[in-house]
Structures are given as structure tokens and as C-alpha cells.
């Protein structure tokens, strides 16, 4: 316990940690208020002093992640991150870092969203949609500029977000890899999955650039037919 942390603060954090573990292990419906009190080692009235219900505990646990995800998705990007590759890389790094620093809370959100109060559930849904839209826009921009392969941008966005989100189930802080290292590797993998092959990015951001690539493909096909 830090010098500035009181016993009351420490107990509140312990309650949240215990509830997180129980919600993941037993599910929200399978965890009672008494279960949390028993594992923490306090009476029900003592637990009630900090949280009025297990729904209130769940709301606190999920607010941090859902609000942070929404804020990341709506942040304004500086000029040097407006290029599709830089934009997508930045989005992946930030989202992966959020999940890696809050893995248990994210798992609670994923498994118990239906149990959230309506207002909190709406916030979680809005955050999820905002993240998807930001990733989709970055990928669409890369496709339009000829820097990314032609593909379904929404499917690609879902796939990359899923790669980030899955870290909540396998990452352990005590493992051999640090958070920043893992986030960097995920960002590298995400970019490789969408970028054009070397030498096939458009030199001109126009229809002429597209026609140039088509002519190259036709020439390659003709050579193949004649061989």
C-alpha cells in the first residue's frame, strides 16, 4: 500500500480485484454479493458500504475500459499520422496497449455486457462501434490511395481488432514480453496483412495510377500465356 493510499482505498481495490476474478471464473449471474464478501473477508454490510450491489461493482469495472476505448477512437490525429499506414499503426498500438494494460477488465466487459445497466451498455456499444469505424476508415483510406490491397475494409478491421482483443485472454504481465513489445508486433502484423506487395503501391493517387497497375498485370498475364 502506497503512502497516499488509505486502508479504505486498499479495501475498495481488493473488492474490485476479487469481483473481477469471480465474474470471469463464475460469470456475473453465478456470482453473488455474498460470494464477493466471503472471498474478500468482510461482512455483507461492510461490502455494502463500498458498493450497493454487484451491478454497481460491474459498472465500475467496465467504465474505465469502455470510456478509454471511446476516447481513443474519437481522438484527433496530428498531421504526421494522417497517412493510412501511420494512422492504422497508431490505432492498433493504442488499442492493443489499452487491452494489454486492462486485460481482466476487458474480459469482464466482453463476458458480462448484457448485465450492464442500460446507460453503461450503450456506452460499451458506442465505444465498440467507434473503434471499428476508426479502423475501417484508416483501411479504406489506404485502399483508396493504392497503399493497401483491395479488400473488405470492415472485415479487415474486425480481424485486426480481434487480434488486439484476444491478448486479454493470453497475456500475463509476468511473461517474457513487455506490453510495448507485444503491441509493436501486433501493429507490424496488422500492417503486413493489408499493405500492397512491395513495388505495387500507386505512384500516382489517381485513375492513371490504377491503370498503370492494371497494364502491368495484363502484361504479366500475356507473358505467361505466351510462355
Count each helix (H run) and each strand (E run) in the chain, helices first. 11, 0
| Farthest-apart Cα atoms in the chain, separation | 85
End residue of a domain, out of 52, 77, 92: 52
Answer yes or no: do 224 and 186 share one domain. no
Kindly report the CATH number assigned to the domain that includes residue 17: 1.10.10.60
Do 70 and 43 belong together in one domain? no
Same domain, residue pair 19 and 114 = no
Q: Measuring CA to CA, which residue among 187, 157, 190, 174 is closest to residue 94?
A: 187
pLDDT at position 81: 78
Instruction: Let me know whether 159 and 214 are in one domain.
Output: no
Q: Which is more confidently placed, 180 or 173? A: 180
Distances in Å between the alpha carbon of 143 and those of 74, 85, 160? Answer: 22, 11, 16
Q: Which domain holds residue 221?
A: 202-227
Do 70 and 145 sit in the same domain of this protein? yes
Residues 124 and 30 in one domain: no
pTM over 0.85: no
Q: Which of 10, 34, 52 is the last residue of a domain?
A: 52
- Residues 161, 220, single domain; the answer is no
Q: Are residues 29 and 132 in the same domain?
A: no
Per-residue CA distances from 43 to 11, 23, 132 (Å): 13, 19, 43
Does 141 lie in the same domain as 72?
Answer: yes
**Is the domain of 114 the same as that of 47?**
no
Share of the chain above pLDDT 70, in %: 85
Closest CA to 63 of 138, 142, 119: 119
Grid cell at residue 209: 495510377
Residues 169-178: what's their mean pLDDT? 89
Mean per-residue pLDDT, 149-157 = 91
Number of structural domains, the chain?
3
Q: Percentage of residues in the chain with pLDDT exceeding 90?
A: 43
Q: Is there a single domain that holds both residue 209 and residue 188?
A: no
Residues 26-52 have pLDDT tens digits of 889 999 999 999 999 999 999 999 999
Is residue 150's pLDDT more than 70? yes
Q: Assess whether 66 and 46 both reside in one domain.
A: no
pLDDT digits (tens, 9 = 90+) for 102-146: 888 888 888 888 888 788 788 888 888 989 999 999 999 998 888
Amino acid at each position: 500500500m502506497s503512502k497516499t493510499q488509505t486502508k479504505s482505498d486498499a479495501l475498495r481495490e481488493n473488492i474490485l480485484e476479487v469481483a473481477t476474478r469471480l465474474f470471469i471464473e463464475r460469470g456475473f449471474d453465478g456470482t453473488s454479493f455474498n460470494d464477493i464478501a466471503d472471498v474478500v473477508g468482510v461482512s455483507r454490510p461492510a461490502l455494502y458500504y463500498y458498493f450497493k450491489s454487484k451491478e454497481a461493482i460491474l459498472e465500475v469495472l467496465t467504465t474505465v475500459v469502455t470510456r478509454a476505448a471511446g476516447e481513443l477512437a474519437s481522438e484527433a490525429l496530428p498531421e504526421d499520422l494522417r497517412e493510412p499506414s501511420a494512422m492504422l499503426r497508431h490505432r492498433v498500438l493504442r488499442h492493443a496497449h489499452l487491452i494489454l494494460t486492462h486485460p481482466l477488465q476487458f474480459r469482464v466487459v466482453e463476458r458480462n455486457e448484457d448485465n450492464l445497466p442500460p446507460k453503461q451498455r450503450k456506452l460499451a456499444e458506442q465505444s465498440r462501434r467507434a473503434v471499428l469505424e476508426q479502423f475501417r476508415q484508416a483501411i479504406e483510406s489506404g485502399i483508396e490511395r493504392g497503399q493497401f490491397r483491395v479488400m473488405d475494409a470492415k472485415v479487415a478491421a474486425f480481424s485486426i481488432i480481434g487480434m488486439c482483443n484476444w491478448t486479454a485472454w493470453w497475456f500475463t504481465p509476468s511473461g517474457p514480453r513487455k506490453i510495448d513489445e507485444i503491441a509493436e508486433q501486433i501493429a507490424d502484423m496488422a500492417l503486413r496483412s493489408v499493405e500492397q506487395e512491395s513495388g505495387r503501391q500507386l505512384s500516382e493517387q489517381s485513375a492513371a495510377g490504377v491503370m498503370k497497375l492494371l497494364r502491368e498485370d495484363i502484361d504479366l498475364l500475356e507473358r505467361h500465356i505466351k510462355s
